[in-house]
Structure 1
Amino acid sequence: MNTLGVTLVLGLLLGVWAQTNIERPQCDSPEAEEAALVAQDYLNAEHTQGYKFALNRIEDIKIYTKPDGDKTYKLEVELLETDCHVLDPTPLVNCTVRPKMMTAVEGDCDVVLKRVGGVLTVTAFKCKTEESTEDICLGCSTLLPLNDTTALDFVHKSLASFNNFNENVTYAVFEVGRMSSQVVSGGLVYLAEYVVVEANCTEDPCVPLNDAMAARGICTAKGSSIAHSVNCQMFLTMMPVIDANVVDVNSTVAVTNSTSAVAPALPPMVHVHTGSLSPKLGLRYHKLTTLHNPELSGLLSAESTESDEVVPVAPGVANSTAPADAGSDSSNSAEVPVVVKKRDVPIVPVVPAPAVVDPIAVVPVCPGRKRFF
């Protein structure tokens, strides 16, 4: 009885696979571009730490159309980190992709989308994020771990300088975005980017305001603990609030938009908010969300997997939309032998095989163009 049941199920699945039309459009076609941009925006919305990512390249696309007209898109995209933090309301088109010499961070994602009522929605994705090691030049800045104690001390000191000459509001560190070091003629120089939030400093240490209306912004600092420059921009206006060129922590600071030349006392040292940082030691960048909807992970290739941990697919789940890939190479997809065998098995020459054009046999124009590098 069990054997008969399994045979019937397999027969039904083979019937569904045989009826599913598989398209391989060009990676730079309007349909592929539409799906990729929807995936880009969705991935950025899921990414709550670090920086926004911009689409760089569409690497592969398959469209599965079932007899009822439902379409499932399987997409492989390459994204690059920009200089806009996820809290920054600046439109992504106005954000700048980090060049390789500034240690670019790349995200490789597999995304599954469905078109319902003419609207594309993301149902599953799997991403791998890594830093680019190409074109690293001698003397270029090098990313440091986000928990590097010396670099974090530099962040503390630069923020203290910022708060020291900002009379109206005191800020605390909300998240460290990047920290790097560079060897110059004068010695070691630190570069840091960190998000700040308005804080209550009536107690020690300062406590970030738990208020949606609290001012937030991003600061960039360069130098050492005793000599550094700090520039901060609030996300609401994106206008420079202060630009301090610190020669020494006890010396005069040139302040932009300040109405008083008298420097107030240094505020209490604030602590770095570490709740959002990865527990993995040595992490130098914020990763994209790794996996969404693991029940559909069988539709996603292994190329974008962060680790060896693979979530098993429930029986029949992946097959309800499309056949699962056997690996990251689209040319070795599991659906290829199924479709081809289905049409090659009949030996009787009555079946006009040449009249049926198998879309998966058409050589796709993929991967697509690179938008940046």
Structure 2
Amino acid sequence: MNPLGFTLVLGLLVGIQAQINVLRPLCDSPDVEEAALVARDFLNNQHNHGYKYALNRIDDVKILPTPDGNSTYFLDIELLETDCHVMDPTPVANCSVRPKLLTAIEGDCDVVLKKVNGTLTVAAFKCKTEESTEDLCLGCPTLLPLNHTAALDFVHASLTKLNNVTENLTYALVDVGRMSSQVVSGGALYTVEYVVVEANCLNETCTPLNDTMAARGICTAKGFHAEPTVNCKMFSYLIPLVDSNSTVAAEPALPPLVHVHSGGIKHGRGHHKLTALHDPHMSGLLSAESESAETVPVAPTVQVNAAVADPSSAPATSSSSASDDSASAEVPLSVVKRAVEAPTAQADPVALVPPCPGKIRFF
């Protein structure tokens, strides 16, 4: 065989071996859900504005084991915006997801995680954030762009009213979270949400306190332009952190430093987006959303350190990008391979039910 032919055959064999080594566990298996929650928390920590996101569904997962007993997870997850601001220390598990009628915000993220010695860390991600508008009704509140002039005037009018009724304490605007309006008989009825922080005022000039112990909270104001009503929920920084295993951390949560909008609010959209891309070391390993589907034989796994797949999961169809294949050429020591016959046209359709996507948690 000439060298070129040998190289082509070798490349083909490596590609086939890489496909066999791709594990396809159930999307709702405990190990995969743990990885999804690690990804959710990491994504929530990437942005300083807007709201926390809750896990709604695990759409897809691939796991590439390595001979050293570690593995790489490729997750496709769907997130939904909650009513907890990112500066609110309330655990996201205790936050309410916004209903569709109030314009739900959805995030679709591809996340790459490394599992080394049983510890999961995020290596790369890309996200797309969109408004869910299919269930909106005529006459319902409409989400406004965050740079909507009249709505921002209403924000400042309600903040002035708040400062007029608080004694010995003045608040400054930190972040505008959402603004919406509803057309009623009296005109435009506004509903706005924004974060405030304790400010130091001198000669009518107020400077937000960039101090973790400064009083802060999220305010909701409603009403017509000249008649705002304001209610604020102040953040408590003695709430203990709760991790994905529902265990209480030893140290209380501390608030982030103040991130005040500088130079005015320039957002032309009605929601804060998740960070779009983070890919420092894993370039090319993030799958495209329109990945082509192909049948991949799946081997059962025996994991020594931690289970990476549900042993009851059946062989299933999968999505595998070329970049994923090229990153998985090594044979994992923790995988026991067996021959798997390709399904025929007469095969039982129940056996072909894919292990993904997983359950829908909200809508």
**Normalising by structure 1, what TM-score?**
0.72
SS at match of 2:147: coil
SS at match of 1:183: strand
SS at match of 1:33: helix
Alignment length (residue pairs): 299
Q: Which runs of 5+ in 2 are unaligned?
A: 239-258, 291-316, 330-336, 344-350
Aligned to 1:371: 361
Aligned to 1:178: 178
Aligned to 1:108: 108
Q: 1:9 to 1:147 in 2, by over 3 A?
A: farther
**CA shift at 1:143, angstroms?**
0.8
Aligned to 2:47: 47
Aligned to 1:18: 17
Partners of 1:358 and 1:235 in 2: how far apart? Answer: 58
Aligned to 1:299: 285
**Any idea what the Cα deviations from partners look like across 1:136-169, whole Å, max 9, x if unmatched?**
0111111111111111110000000000010121
**With CA pairs under 8 Å and 6+ residues apart, which has the higher RCO, 1 or 2?**
2
Aligned to 1:258: none
Partners of 1:23 and 1:299 in 2: how far apart? Answer: 16
Task: Write the mapping of 1:1-373 to structure 2, written as runs, cut at 5 A.
Answer: 11=10, 15=14, 18=17, 21-236=21-236, 273-275=260-262, 279=266, 281-303=267-289, 331-334=318-321, 356-357=339-340, 364-373=354-363
Bigger radius of gyration: 1
Partners of 1:48 and 1:359 in 2: how far apart? Answer: 49
Task: Report the AA paired with residue 201 of structure 1.
Answer: C
Q: Does the Cα contact within 8 Å between 2:58 and 2:77 map onto a contact in 1? A: yes
**CA shift at 1:303, angstroms?**
2.5
Task: Give the ranges of 4+ consecutive aligned residues of structure 1 lying more than 4 Å apart after TM superposition.
Answer: 7-14, 276-279, 335-339, 358-363
**CA shift at 1:293, angstroms?**
1.8
Q: Does the Cα contact within 8 Å between 2:89 and 2:237 map onto a contact in 1? A: no
Q: Does the Cα contact within 8 Å between 1:39 and 1:111 map onto a contact in 2? A: yes
**Normalising by structure 2, what TM-score?**
0.74
Partners of 2:100 and 2:22 in 1: how far apart? Answer: 37
Q: Does the Cα contact within 8 Å between 1:76 and 1:108 map onto a contact in 2? A: yes
Task: Report the AA paired with residue 223 of structure 1.
Answer: G
Partners of 1:75 and 1:110 in 2: how far apart? Answer: 6
SS at match of 2:232: strand
Q: 1:62 to 1:230 in 2, by over 3 A?
A: same
**CA shift at 1:355, angstroms?**
5.0
Q: Does the Cα contact within 8 Å between 1:104 and 1:131 map onto a contact in 2? A: yes
Q: Would you tell me which structure has more helix in proportion to its own residues?
A: 1
Q: Which runs of 5+ in 1 are unaligned?
A: 239-271, 305-329, 343-353
Cα RMSD for the two superposed structures: 3.5
Identical columns (%): 61
**CA shift at 1:48, angstroms?**
2.0
